[in-house]
A and B are shown apart, each in its own frame.
Chain A
Amino acid sequence: MIWLRALLLAFCLATPVMALSPDEVLPDPVLEQRARDISAGLRCLVCQNQSIDDSDADLARDLRVLVRERLVAGDSDEAVRQYLVDRYGEYVLLNPRVNSHTILLWIAAPVLLLAGLGTLFVVGRRRRVVETELSAEEQGALDELE
């Protein structure tokens, strides 16, 4: 995977700036922790599926600084996210919001699970269990395999 990732990530890696630097860190540890948590959920827009917290790209650094500026200015976590969504679109959120565009995505797993359960139930009812003890023949086959 990484060898394909590397090909895809070339753009990100070409810039020598690294992830979170000490000069970005806020003096207030509570505020800094909030900044880290928010950053982990924001996408580095020029990278492959990396959060700005992990990314080495210049843009990610700019966004990290921006998140911290907004927090220092007194924004709530949600307000910071909204600020970025207003500028970069929903694309910036790694965890998509539930709305008309993403409802199918969010219900996909539960629907699949229920569909599977339903199928099992129907098939199970159709094929009633008639015999429940192993027949001599089946037991023989099983012993052969054990």
Chain B
Amino acid sequence: MSIELGHFALILAFAIATVSAVGGFAFWRSGQRIALVLSQGAVLQFILIAVAFAALIQAFVTSDFSLLLAANNSHSLKPLIFKISGVWGNHEGSMVLWIFILVAFGAMVATFGRKLPHDLLALVLATQSLLTSAFAGFTIFTSNPFARLIPAPIEGNDLNPVLQDIGLAIHPPLLYAGYVGFSICFSFAIAALVSGRIDQAWARWVRPWTMLSWTFLTLGIAMGSYWAYYELGWGGWWFWDPVENASFMPWLAGTALLHSALVMEKRNALKIWTVFLSIITFSLSLLGTFLVRSGILTSVHTFASDPTRGLVILTLLALVIGGAFALFAFRAASLRQGGLFAPVSREGALILNNLFLATAVGAVLVGTLYPLLLDALAGTTISVGAPFFNLTFGTLMAPLLLVLPFGPLLAWKRADIVSAAQRLIGAAALAIFVTILISALSGIAVSLAPLGLLLGFWVAFGAIAELVDRSKLGRIPLAESGRRLIGLPRSAWSTAIAHFGIGITVLGIVATSAWETERVTTLNPGESTELSGYTIAFDRFDTVEGPNYLSDEGHFTVTAPDGGTRQMLADRRTYVASGMPTTEAAIETYGFSQLYLQLGEPLDNTHVVRVWHKPYITLIWLGAILMACAGFLSLTDRKLRVGAPRRAAKSAAQAAE
């Protein structure tokens, strides 16, 4: 019964979204009344999709296998958390999650956006409804999650064991919140193009949504990377897989958008480019969610997807993205340009940032789609893998990182590069000194590692340099500096923390690539092996029974170089329902470094054991977490708070005239 209720709610939401979209675009000029109706429509869509989503969760939690989706993807013995996360561990269910987040964002705009101009609000909500209508329609007609199975089986087929992990509970919702959040920027861009009106108030509205989505996406990608790291069993953390590239491109574009929206908000410049980036970012988010499912990226291989479904997805993508760009082409000229500035200025630095990030997006996009196009057009199959992306992407990022510390130190409109450089001398000297010291101590031969380290330290110290400079640290009494530091606007802090985080991530990547060590060996209980000063003793081997799997467990005692001992438990599981094996690596964190231990298959009556020492690898994700913290910090800034002060918005609008 509740399943039909959910199905009905989904269909009703689709109907309301369709009517809202049509009505909104037809009557957006009618002022307050249409804005009010669309706001109520947005909240209604949210409630209805929430009902549909809850119905699915209930069926999974109660193991109602008369629901085809639950029968295919759940199992009664599964722990509760995996029953819930299993709802979106498949195509149909993840569509419902995607739409749920979409309507949640729509409802947020409707709730917090009461102070927006009525025509802008109406157009934004109409665009959101159009998206909801399109993707709810797609779900209902090609990927119905509410299909029944009669007679109902006694037991379900279980979820893919790799997905039975806390990662599935956290990663997709975060990632989708990031992807879908950009729909708000997209809707604002469409509204600006349709109405032909765009000012600093518009940018002030778009920036918090960009910041929020970007923060979620940062966390989502970092979480996904860490999940892959510990789950796939050999310690890789980034693969340049098409699926990963698809999530990385909106992040790069979103980062560019954050910076260009800043220029637009503060200086009323880069309007057309900001609108363009808003469309690009959400289009890439759509590609990220759907291109992978259309089956075209993987058609050569094993993943058989429903061809009709793929065709519908591609048509839908073409309509949404193509329609948005067509609108852009027709209407962009109507947006008035403003805000002149010299090449050397904060604006100039942010444009340079955008240039490199946009090029990186283009490079990753070409690398991801090229094999596909070549196959289709020339019938030649090639692979574009990690070595290509490391080279291209690395080459593009190096100059960006090199100039990054200058940006926040430059003044708006026209800046003095020499004075900025003077304020960075300390950071540069410190970065060079630390890099030489580390290179000498670790004795790395000719390689790119010292250059990478130098870049990482430069970015990290450069980010701090801005805070040091603004607090006049060392030039005035310490207490006074401290007061200044605390008194700095949150935007200054969040900029510094985010840039510092990038430096930290770069350092983690460089350190772990340069100094990772590995041992692959066979061990019997009682024997031990050694790696990078750690002694790993294999204590015993057990077979135990988990809730829905059988587990071969290896117990190890690790003695660190300082003499301390820790226990590690690595296991291999065989899931009862599917018979599929997984390996659960044991990971011990020492400072910022990790020891990664995996129990392999038996070989000639002994056990294959693989051990990796990964120096400073956690910095990769800590840097990302710092970036996300900076994003949240920036959102708490008074002037960015959603539904922000009218006074400032009004004077900004006046300045724009």
**What band does the interface of chain A fall in when counting residues whose beta carbon is under 8 Å from B?**
35 or more
Residues of chain B contacted by A122 (CB below 8 angstroms): none
Residues of chain B contacted by A134 (CB below 8 angstroms): 412-413
Q: Does A130 make an interface contact (CB < 8 A)?
A: yes
Q: Are A8 and B302 in contact (CB under 8 A)?
A: yes
Q: Does B301 make an interface contact (CB < 8 A)?
A: yes
Q: A91 to B301: give the CA distance in the assembly, Å.
A: 13
Q: A46 to B298: give the CA distance in the assembly, Å.
A: 11
* Stretch of B21-29, B144-152, B376-384 lying at the A interface: B376-384
Q: Are A49 and B242 in contact (CB under 8 A)?
A: yes
Q: Is the interface of B mostly helix, strand, loop or mixed?
A: helix
Q: Does A96 make an interface contact (CB < 8 A)?
A: yes
- Given A2-B232, A134-B413, A138-B655 in contact, is the A43-B601 Cβ separation under 8 Å? no
Q: A54 to B512: give the CA distance in the assembly, Å.
A: 17
**Chain B: minimal CB distance from A7 (Å):** 7
Residues of chain A contacted by B525 (CB below 8 angstroms): none
Q: Are B171 and A109 in contact (CB under 8 A)?
A: no
Within 8 A of A (CB), among B354-398: 355-356, 358-359, 362-363, 366-367, 370, 374, 378, 380-388, 391-392, 395-396
Q: A51 to B384: give the CA distance in the assembly, Å.
A: 11
Q: Does A101 make an interface contact (CB < 8 A)?
A: yes
Q: Are B396 and A113 in contact (CB under 8 A)?
A: yes
- Given A4-B292, A109-B366, A120-B355 in contact, is the A49-B303 Cβ separation under 8 Å? no
Q: Which residue of A lies closest to B227 (CB)?
A: A2
Residues of chain B contacted by A92 (CB below 8 angstroms): 383
Q: A109 to B393: give the CA distance in the assembly, Å.
A: 9
Q: Are B233 and A18 in contact (CB under 8 A)?
A: yes
Q: A141 to B362: give the CA distance in the assembly, Å.
A: 35
Q: Are B603 and A117 in contact (CB under 8 A)?
A: no
* Stretch of A9-17, A65-73, A74-82 lying at the B interface: A9-17
**Chain A: minimal CB distance from B243 (Å):** 5
Q: Are B382 and A96 in contact (CB under 8 A)?
A: yes
Q: Which residue of B lies closest to A53 (CB)?
A: B234
Q: Are B303 and A7 in contact (CB under 8 A)?
A: yes
Q: Does A87 make an interface contact (CB < 8 A)?
A: no
Q: A46 to B236: give the CA distance in the assembly, Å.
A: 19
Q: Are A105 and B384 in contact (CB under 8 A)?
A: yes
Residues of chain A contacted by B242 (CB below 8 angstroms): 48-49
Q: Which residue of A lies closest to B360 (CB)?
A: A109
Q: A24 to B603: give the CA distance in the assembly, Å.
A: 12
Q: Are B340 and A96 in contact (CB under 8 A)?
A: no
Q: Which residue of A lies closest to B649 (CB)?
A: A144
Residues of chain A contacted by B380 (CB below 8 angstroms): 90, 101
Other-chain contact of A144, B363, B388, B651 (Cβ < 8 Å):
B651
Within 8 A of A (CB), among B319-367: 337, 340-343, 351, 355-356, 358-359, 362-363, 366-367
Instruction: Bits for A40-73, please: 1 = Cβ < 8 Å to B, else 0.
Output: 1101001011110010000000000000000000
Q: 19 other contacts beyond A1-B175, A22-B521, A89-B381, with CB at 8 A cut-off?
A: A3-B168, A3-B172, A18-B608, A19-B234, A48-B242, A48-B301, A48-B303, A49-B385, A95-B391, A101-B374, A105-B367, A105-B388, A108-B367, A109-B395, A116-B359, A133-B413, A138-B413, A141-B651, A145-B652
Binding site for A on B (CB under 8 A): 89, 94, 160, 162-163, 167-168, 171-172, 175, 200, 221, 224, 227-228, 231-234, 236, 239-244, 247, 265-267, 292-293, 298, 301-303, 337, 340-343, 351, 355-356, 358-359, 362-363, 366-367, 370, 374, 378, 380-388, 391-392, 395-396, 412-414, 489, 520-522, 580-583, 598, 600-601, 603-604, 608, 610, 639, 648, 651-652, 654-655
Binding site for B on A (CB under 8 A): 1-11, 13-14, 16-23, 25, 40-41, 43, 46, 48-51, 54, 89-96, 101-102, 104-105, 108-109, 112-113, 116-117, 120, 124, 127, 129-134, 137-138, 140-142, 144-146
